[in-house]
Amino acid sequence: ERIGLHSCRNPLSESSKMRLSLCLACAAALRAPLRAPLRTPMRKPLITMGLSKSITDSFPALVAGAAVVGATPVGPTLLRLDGPKVTAALALTMLAMGTTLETADFRRIAQRPKPVAVGFLSQFCVMPASAVVASMIWRLPPAQAAGVCLVGCCPGGVASNVVSLLARADVPLSITMTTCSTVAACFLTPILAALCAGAKAELNRAALAASTVQVVLAPVALGLALRSCFPKKCDRAQPFLAPTAALLVAWICGSVVAKNSAGAAAAGAGRVLGALLCLHGLGFGLGYAAAKAAGLDEAARRTVSIETGMQNSALAVVLAGAAGLPPAAKLPGAISATIHSIMGSVLARRWRRQMPTIPRRPAPVFERVAWSGTPYPARP
């Protein structure tokens, strides 16, 4: 107590002040290393997310680059992928897509039935009819015409969700439409392919249906089950799933181009390219026109256009082999993945510069009364 009273009466000397400052500085220095390591682990997920986004955004360049490498003499050696491995790679891609889905994605169908219905009809009506028309205009041989028809009968691709994000479209609607078309493809793709491509080439319908269930339905259902049982682990794996799917699809397309590059010129690859440009051009244009005629807003129009024009072309490659079609029938699927990715990216770049106009609903009566300066109306 005497020391305290004496220190209160007499002010601190200069030496005492220096000692006190040094003590405070030493205490702060001792505490600083304890806080610094807590911030360093947070940088790794940011780097992982940035790398994942970079790979996913460059999906069109990856597919185009794989196709170019596959057409070179070293393509068959670098991008070699056998038939069972192609099926396994695509099934792994669909499994990755299934782990990103939840039951809430299916509830959106009931909440927004009109845009989903317009996109569903555009997907499975416009594209198969456009495939038949494009193959007839360009007078394709039977095997290549069947491959183009298979591309038109496939569901929407996973890359459409990425393009919808880049185009400032409705991403939740894009995910819902991709989910619906993927699940419905288990039943509609074999039927539509038999109607469109069955008359152009011999088609093993039973093998086509079995391969669709094996590649699409089973992996997506397994992914949903994993998501419901292990949600936290699936969330941790999300940064790696999208780039892995992009790399696998690019590898599949490059391997198919490498296998068929030798006889592509003799088989009329130029006509196949023209037919696919016509097919996807009609898909993008008619999809947007159908959404506009249905009275959807601009963001939904862009989404329907993208979902209609971009197909799961890797699935067409697998189904062409499973249906017993000639090797030339796989070439349209490989070229299609490159074409619709480039077309979708160009369209997204143009739309990204234009913000979609969202129609404003009239404000409720109590909001208009409040903003006019008068008090809120009394509640009943």
CA distance 306 to 184: 18
pLDDT less than 50: residues of the chain: 1-9, 32-44, 47, 360-380
Q: In angstroms, what CA-CA distances link 24 with 10, 21, 29, 35, 36?
A: 21, 5, 9, 17, 19
CA distance 295 to 63: 34
Q: What is the pLDDT of residue 3?
A: 47
Of the candidates 257, 285, 290, which has an alpha carbon nearest to the alpha carbon of residue 81? 257
Would the pTM of this model clear 0.85, i.e. be above it? no
Q: What is the pLDDT of residue 138?
A: 92
Beta-bridged to residue 156, according to DSSP, are 311
Kindly report, residue by residue over 122-146, the tens digit of the pLDDT.
999 999 999 999 999 999 988 889 9
Kindly report, residue by residue over 356-371, the tens digit of the pLDDT.
655 544 444 433 343 3
* Cβ atoms within 10 Å, residue 159: 28
Orientation of helix 231-260 relative to helix 313-322, angle to 10°: 60
Q: What is the pLDDT of residue 48?
A: 63
